[in-house]
A and B are shown apart, each in its own frame.
Chain A
Amino acid sequence: MRLLARLTGGLLLLVLVAGAALAVDGDIVFKRAGPETSPPPAVFPHWLHRIRYKCYACHPGLFQMKAGANTVTMEAMGEGKSCGACHNGGPAPAIDIDTCNSCHAGE
């Protein structure tokens, strides 16, 4: 009985962890160009952005409206392009070594 309870608890925990890592509606999980596996791929919460900004705030100026058509690199962000156009400590939080997990939350 105790074993069963432990097993159930373990399974529940697994489901919860997997659920937390899964992307929700509108999320874009970026595919890596290289073979690295760490840090995990970045997840872009598209619809959380959609609440705050009109489509034309980013499209097509910063990003083409086609999945996979945009190459997003940390270098570009550092130069104020791509996500770095807003995530620079101005309108949105800056990208730095303390905030990696904010975006790199994929599986």
Chain B
Amino acid sequence: MILVAVAGTCLGSVLFVGCSAETNQKILSTFFDGTDKPPVPTRRVRRDLLQEIADLKRQLTGQTAGGSEGAEEAPRPVDRAKTWEEAAALLPKDGDGNVDWVRALKEGVIAPRPGPSRTAPQQALVSFDVTLVPEGGDDFRAVFSHEVHTALLACSSCHPALYQMKAGADTITMDQINGGESCGVCHGTIAFAATLCARCHPAMAGG
């Protein structure tokens, strides 16, 4: 009699351990009253869960791409501007009185999309800085932020046409920049001009 009971218990526990939570509950509720029923994932719950996962993914993408951006955010005042004059009045300016696009992005005044659709993927940020120290001395060292640039531009915008992808492989001079080459391809045309020394040469701040 005892042996049968032991064998039964063993068999029961083997079955019990080997079953899914759902089957366990079914077996238990046959013998015992008051066994909690597991929540049944209705369509609504499933949809909510999927929505939650999608939200988390979006948050994660937003964080990777620079924090202040979110595809579902309400349009900013600047997005409603119909003319450039209206928009320019809302954007931060640099020392030359031109639009400071980097600040506008960092401060969330603008939240440009990565592509035509709301679901277009954000390009990954490249976060390393390149510090260029000229022979003349450390006072004129320039710091190039990949992060600031890759928040807006593709790698292929600059590489390899303007710069080789190898540290120290390119010589950059102020003469080139002022002549519209190297950094000067953009800086002085669509980006701030080389007259704002301290934005690249930190030691020249206040000078």
Chain A residues near B (Cβ < 8 Å): 24-27, 45-48, 50-57, 59-60, 65, 85-86, 90-92
**CB pair A52 B153 closer than 8 Å:** no
Task: Tell me whether B114 and A56 are in contact (CB under 8 A).
Answer: yes
The 28 listed contacts between A and B (C-beta, < 8 Å) are: A24-B85, A25-B84, A25-B98, A27-B84, A45-B84, A47-B84, A47-B99, A48-B81, A48-B87, A51-B112, A53-B115, A53-B116, A54-B152, A56-B114, A56-B123, A56-B152, A56-B154, A57-B112, A57-B113, A57-B114, A57-B115, A57-B116, A59-B153, A59-B157, A60-B154, A60-B156, A86-B116, A92-B116
Given A47-B99, A48-B81, A48-B84, decide whether A55 and B116 contact each other with a Cβ distance below 8 A. no
Residues of B104-124 whose CB lies within 8 A of A: 110, 112-117, 120, 123
Q: Which residue of A lies closest to B156 (CB)?
A: A60
In the assembled complex, B193 has its CB within 8 A of some CB on chain A: no
Nearest 5 CB-CB pairs, A to B?
Answer: A56-B154, A91-B116, A24-B84, A86-B116, A54-B112
CB distance A51 to B154 under 8 Å? no
Interfacial residues of chain B within 141-194, with CB under 8 A of chain A in the complex: 151-154, 156-157, 185-186, 190
Binding site for A on B (CB under 8 A): 78-79, 81, 83-85, 87-88, 91, 98-99, 101, 110, 112-117, 120, 123, 151-154, 156-157, 185-186, 190
Q: Are A54 and B114 in contact (CB under 8 A)?
A: yes
Q: A50 contacts B116, CB within 8 Å? A: no
Residues of A within 8 A of B186 (CB): 65
- Cα distance A60–B158 when bound, in Å? 10
Q: Provide the bound-state CA to CA distance between A92 and B115, in Å.
A: 12
Q: CA separation between A57 and B185, bound complex, in Å?
A: 19
Residues of B within 8 A of A92 (CB): 116
Report how far A50 CA is from B101 CA in the complex, Å.
9
Residue of A nearest to B122 (CB): A54
The distance in angstroms between the C-alpha atoms of A54 and B157, with both chains bound, is 12
User: A52 to B84, alpha carbons, bound, how many Å?
Assistant: 12
A72 CB → nearest B CB, Å: 17
Contact B154 A47 (CB under 8 A): no
Q: Within the complex, which residue of B79, B154, B185, B190 is in contact with A26, where a contact is CB–CB below 8 Å?
A: B190
Structural contact, A85 and B151, CB atoms closer than 8 A: no
Our pick among B78, B98, B115, B117 for the contact of A51 (Cβ within 8 Å) is B78
A residues near B114, Cβ cutoff 8 Å: 53-54, 56-57
Residues in B whose Cβ lies below 8 Å from that of A46: 190
Note all chain B residues with C-beta closer than 8 A to A86: 116
